[in-house]
Amino acid sequence: MRASSPPSRREPHNPAAADDGDEFRFCTTCAFSQACLSQGYAKPDLTAFQALIDHVGPFKPGEYIFREGDAFNAIAAVRGGTVKTFITDVAGNEQVLGFHLPGEVIGLNAIHPERYPCNAIALDTVTLCRFSFHQLSLLAARVPNLQQQLFKLLSLDIGKASLLVGDHSADERLAAFMVLLSQRYAARGFSATRFTLTMARADIANYLRLAPETVSRILKRFRSERVIEVRQRDVQLLDPGRLEALARPVLRMI
Amino acid sequence: MRASSPPSRREPHNPAAADDGDEFRFCTTCAFSQACLSQGYAKPDLTAFQALIDHVGPFKPGEYIFREGDAFNAIAAVRGGTVKTFITDVAGNEQVLGFHLPGEVIGLNAIHPERYPCNAIALDTVTLCRFSFHQLSLLAARVPNLQQQLFKLLSLDIGKASLLVGDHSADERLAAFMVLLSQRYAARGFSATRFTLTMARADIANYLRLAPETVSRILKRFRSERVIEVRQRDVQLLDPGRLEALARPVLRMI
DNA sequence: CGGAAACTTGAGAGCCATCAACCAGTGTGG
DNA sequence: CCACACTGGTTGATGGCTCTCAAGTTTCCG
């Protein structure tokens, strides 16, 4: 599909991608697992929970994780790498729905239709923790905290989309995109001010509903204004405060 | 807030608004209740379920149902009328998030933050079935089908927002808005080709991220092209096929 | 009847997409 | 080793869709 940059270029800023399949380590990166550990489940529940987990991957860049219309059976938490979800519209154009970083969950919107309503592909080397949703919900009926956690996870995803729904300027949208990326990386223990864009400019533009040229021009301006430094896909936030101020109308974090 | 049209003008096309508080009737309009009846729950579960229901309202036009930041305790299904949800951005501008018709559920995005992330007000005379979410989830742990139903409901809401997220033309967005309204009314047994807009042009425009003037102009053009007939807030779809064709890029119903 | 709100209509401006060309890095094959 | 193609990214010029501003019209309700 796209010729990806070599992994060696990305790893310095994305430590998770360098993890191996350590059985214990993943528990600090998956949302469910975090919840389990933090809420002190009974031992039997925890082992029942771990029995549902299926470590899959690695997926190579451009490889499909699931396709639109596939039968739904599992949700998954990203362990390493970036997953892009998208649909293909009537004209055959791609419409990017989101990017999913380590620790984030994909497949939640497939529960109701019982089919995946979008495609998911790996942007770089991706590894996942896959959970059989059927078994997970059976367990959730026995373990109230797990049920709560699932409800939370689903509820969280409902509001998420509405962040980029507003009619904001291209500047505001791109600033918000960078700020959110920064926060999401920071939440997983990565640097909040230095990271690597794992997606192409065209993907960013598509996601933000802008033209790639517009993204390019705005990044150039941000750089000339000393707000960020961009070189290829490596980004450094020079003035996070100004970036957040720009993004405020979008994120409306009062 | 806004001076609403008198109820007498709306009722012919919105039969639900004319219902009185009949205890049995509501069971055919609430999503949960429908699920209960269709899946044949055991009698004790059904009565336990009904004990959670709180009939509230009527709310008058412009009255708040909940406000952004309020502590979350309940989700609610609309029984009659239309609920508008919106947030207020940093500049104090309203941003409409959605309109909720009879049979639809509000408050799902409040589960995670445990606070309502938006405001909800009645556009006309609104009645609700309110469910204590805490008790509902307790019951869900005992009644697997109810848990499934809740998961479905939440999952459904995740995908819903992404319909209007794309970068589509004003024509396409407005056409899609009309088609979706039509389908939602039809799903509840109302006419699919004749209905009344319970929201102001400004609300429609705001929701679609357009200027009110643009909505007005497009409606005029649609009318001149014999696609719809509009007189004040009464709408008639003259050529649903063409409208759906226009909306296709947005709804991408293949 | 009068005032306010909602809606419509028109003219002009601005943001961003489109089109086109160019540049840079990468892989390939002769 | 270098020409070549290819993908991704950048830069410039132009045009169009939609917003904004302003005024007029209709509807509604006290």
For chain B, the domains span: 7-162, 170-251
- Residue B154 pLDDT: 83
Average pLDDT score over residue span A121-139:
91
Q: Nearest protein residue to D19's C1' (by CA)?
A: B211
Pick out chain B residues at pLDDT < 50. Answer: 1-29, 36-38, 253-254
Residues of B in contact with A107 (CB under 8 A): none
DSSP letter at B74 equals: E
The CATH topology of domain B170-251 is: Arc Repressor Mutant, subunit A (1.10.10)
- Residue A141 pLDDT: 84
CATH architecture of the domain with residue range A7-161: Sandwich (2.60)
- Residue B53 pLDDT: 86
Q: Which of A123, A111, A205, A115 minimizes the C-alpha distance to A158?
A: A111
Instruction: Please give the helix or strand (H or E) that residue B253 lies within, else none.
Output: none
Q: Which of A84, A75, A67, A83 minimizes the C-alpha distance to A16?
A: A83
Supply the pTM of this predicted model.
Answer: 0.83
CATH architecture of the domain with residue range B7-162: Sandwich (2.60)
Percent of chain A's residues with pLDDT above 70: 80
Given a cut of 60, whether residue A191 has pLDDT beyond it is yes
CA–CA dist A140, B147 (Å, integer): 9
CB–CB of A107/A116 below 8 Å? yes
Given a cut of 80, whether residue A46 has pLDDT beyond it is no
Q: Nearest protein residue to C8's C1' (by CA)?
A: B216
The radius of gyration of chain B from alpha carbons, rounded to an integer in Å, stands at 19
Q: Which member of B87, B150, B252 has the closest CB to residue A90? A: B252
Can you give the distance from the CA of residue B232 to the C1' of nucleotide D27 in angstroms? 9
The structure tokens listed for A244 are: 């957040």
Is B245 touching A (CB cutoff 8 A)?
A: no
Residue of A nearest to B159 (CA): A109
Average pLDDT score over residue span A129-145:
86
CA–CA dist B79, B19 (Å, integer): 9
CB–CB of A53/A131 below 8 Å? yes
Token pair 């021009």 is found at A217
Q: Cβ of B167 and A109 within 8 Å?
A: no
- Residue A13 pLDDT: 41
Q: How confident is the model at residue A30 (pLDDT cuts 50, 70, 90)?
A: low
Give pLDDT tens digits for A203-250. Answer: 999 999 999 999 999 999 999 999 999 988 999 999 999 999 999 988
- Residue A177 pLDDT: 95
Instruction: Tell which wins on pLDDT, A160 or A235.
Output: A235
- Residue A247 pLDDT: 93
Question: Omega into A6 within 30° of 0, i.e. cis?
Answer: no
Q: At what angle do helices B201-208 and B212-224 cross, to 10 degrees?
A: 100
Q: How confident is the model at residue A40 (pLDDT cuts 50, 70, 90)?
A: low
Is A97 touching B (CB cutoff 8 A)?
A: yes
- Residue B31 pLDDT: 56
- Residue B96 pLDDT: 92
Instruction: Tell which wins on pLDDT, B51 or A196.
Output: A196
Distance from CA of B156 to the nearest CA of A (A): 6
Is B152 touching A (CB cutoff 8 A)?
A: yes
- Secondary structure of residue A169 in the 3-state scheme: coil
Mean residue pLDDT of chain A comes to: 81
Q: Which of B196, B203, B202, B198 minimizes the C-alpha distance to B235?
A: B196
Given a cut of 90, whether residue A178 has pLDDT beyond it is yes
By C1' distance from the Cα of B3, the closest nucleotide is C5
The reply to whether B214 has its C-beta less than 7 Å from any atom of strand D is yes
The structure tokens listed for A23 are: 């059985």
- Residue B163 pLDDT: 61
HSE of A91 in the Cβ direction (CA atoms, 13 Å)? 10
- Of the residues B131, B151, B253, the best mutation for testing chain A's interface (the one with the most A CB atoms within 10 Å of its CB) is B151
Q: In Å, what is the CA distance from A44 to each residue of A36, A134, A142? A: 12, 19, 11
CA–CA dist B101, B82 (Å, integer): 5
- Residue A146 pLDDT: 84
Average pLDDT score over residue span A161-186:
89
